[in-house]
Amino acid sequence: MSEALRPPNLPHPPSYSKRPSLPVEIPRAYEGGVLSGLLKAPLWLVGRIDDNDGLFRRGCCLLCWGLLFHALFGAAMGLFGGWETAVMSFIKAPIIALSSLGLCMPSLYVFGCVGGMPLKPSQAFALAGSLLAMIGIILLGLTPVTWLFAVSTHNLGFIVLLNTILWLFAASFGGRFLSLFRHAPSLHHTGGLKWWLVVFLVVSMQMATTLRPLLKMPSEGWREKDKKFFVVHFIECFEEK
């Protein structure tokens, strides 16, 4: 309605903010554990991170669960090379996950803040632990799949391709969790997190290459000593007999 046609006593319509809001009933109603909350009510965890509520304890809990799930997936994957390889991969898989996350923590904080997300260090830590736990939960659900093919085929290229696809599939669920922060009242600018996730994926693949092998025992020591780019290593896996 234009100002010329507005009656003199008619009040102006209220202005509504376009700022996103988190559903109140979910953060307040959920009473399960932090891991169950991540799986069943992720918006509840988003609300706790946005409120900076007990994040160190929750972040440590999620981080430990995520590392355990990565270890179980690594053991199932390592059965391709036998029990000794499975034990080695059980140890290496969480080291790869933790090292990749540690290397990417500074960029998580910087990318988030530059992208308009006013992260505190405790919030960045809880967010990183939640991401690792989410990826670990999906990998745990896919562990029987990788176990089946690890013990029933000798095709190295296929096993490498299969586990790469499964890991990227799990990482996509981690990206979906990060996208839920668009509903957070304070941390709703998620543009920086999208670019950070790309950095995390690339670093994780290079870290896995650095700590190779995961599917067979090394010739000596506990990893190969030569330097190699992860794309080159991926291609060579299809050429190896």
Contact by Cβ (8 Å): 146, 166: yes
Supply angle C-alpha 131, 228, 105, rounded to 5: 25
Q: Which run of H or E residues covers position 157?
A: helix 156-179
Instruction: Please tell me which of 36-40, 106-110, 188-192 the model is most confident about, judged by mean pLDDT.
Output: 106-110
Q: Which DSSP state fits 13?
A: P
The beta-strand segments (E) located in 62-202 are none
pLDDT recorded at residue 8 = 53
CA–CA distances in Å: residue 190 to residues 40, 91, 110, 178, 179: 22, 33, 13, 8, 7
- Structural Rg of the chain based on CA atoms: 22
**Residues 16-74 pLDDT 10s:** 344 455 554 445 556 668 888 898 889 888 888 988 877 888 899 999 999 999 999 99
pLDDT, position 23: 56
What is the distance between the terminal CA atoms of the chain, rounded to a whole angstrom?
A: 76
3-state secondary structure of 166: helix
The token pair at 71 is 């270890």
For residue 220, the one-letter residue type is E
% of residues, the chain, pLDDT over 90: 51
How many other CB atoms are there within 10 angstroms of residue 224's CB atom? 16
pLDDT (mean) for 170-177: 94
Summarised one tens digit per residue, pLDDT across range 76-104 is: 999 999 999 999 999 999 999 999 999 99
Name residue, tokens 């790869």: 96
